[in-house]
Amino acid sequence: MPEPLKLQGIPASAGYAEGPLFNLDPVVARYKGKATAADERLALETAIGTATGRLANLIQATDGDAADILEFQLAMLEDDALTGPAFAAIAAGQPADAAWRQALDAEIVGYETSDQDYFRARAADMRDIRDQVLRALTADSAAAAPTGAIFYGEDIAPTRFLETDWSAGGGIALKAGSTASHVAMLARSRGVPMIVGLGASPADLAGVALLDAEHGGIVLRPTRAEVEAFR
């Protein structure tokens, strides 16, 4: 049996959770290029429409701060200033996925490097927007997490958080992330244990995890004695 792996991060939302580790880091799906620029434009328009519909459905199912986050994303997707550069790149010969990624990555950098906290906090929303449309372009749906899972990865999208049923337990352990992020705010308001800033870790982690979001620690591959002590 491999040795237990103990990682230390920063508490973002207090609590404890035990559950199967679920890898958040996406598997990149391959986009199939279209025959003409008109077809590429239609593919992007359709993908944006899919993402817009998903956000609208989520907004109907939530309220408060969560609805504010989703409404920001929806407004951005409906803003020609955001989508225009991607359509211009398609007209210049780029495939839809590359054009969209290029346009959104440029926007994301602007948000991440802003000297205002408000805009830096919105960078995660922009990444969420980018990835929702890319998933729609490749017809790639996010893998379903098991009940009570500990979500583990670089970061978690606000929409992923809001689509998860936390009533059965579970938690979040992020290699990066921030205690000031929108997801951290949502986790605190819903009592979902969360830690951030774990840093790099070995690949292909799996199995049961013990999340201590009171002190910022997580134990991967715990021994039976550690599980019993944790409980």
What's the rounded mean pLDDT across residues 112-118? 83
Distance from C-alpha of 83 to C-alpha of 75, rounded to nearest angstrom: 11
Handedness of CA 87, 88, 92, 95 (dihedral sign): negative
* Token pair of 204 as six digits: 């292909």
| Low-confidence winner among 26-30, 96-100, 123-127, 224-228 (lowest mean pLDDT) | 26-30
Coil, strand or helix: which one is 143? coil
Question: Is 208 within 8 Å of 22 (Cβ atoms)?
Answer: no
Check residue 219 and give its pLDDT: 92
Tell me the pLDDT tens digit for each residue of 33-79: 899 999 999 999 999 999 999 999 999 988 788 888 899 999 999 99
Q: Which CATH architecture has domain 37-138?
A: Orthogonal Bundle (1.10)
Question: Is 136 within 8 Å of 51 (Cβ atoms)?
Answer: yes
Is the pLDDT assigned to residue 191 strictly greater than 90?
yes
| Domain spans in the chain, listed from the N-terminal domain onward | 5-26+143-230, 37-138
| Fold assignment, 5-26+143-230 | Glucose Oxidase; domain 1 (3.50.30)
Confidence of residue 192 (pLDDT cuts 50, 70, 90): very high
Burial pattern 2-27, b for ≥16 Cβ within 10 A else e, equals: eeeeebebbbbbbbebbbebbbbeee
Smallest Cα–Cα separation from 8: which of 199, 231, 209? 199
For all residues of the chain together, what is the average pLDDT? 89
Is the pLDDT assigned to residue 27 strictly greater than 80?
no
Long-range contacts of 53-56 (CB under 8 A, 24+ apart): 54/132, 54/159, 55/132, 55/159
Distance from C-alpha of 182 to C-alpha of 165, rounded to nearest angstrom: 18
Which residue has tokens 């670089």?
154
Check residue 1 and give its pLDDT: 61
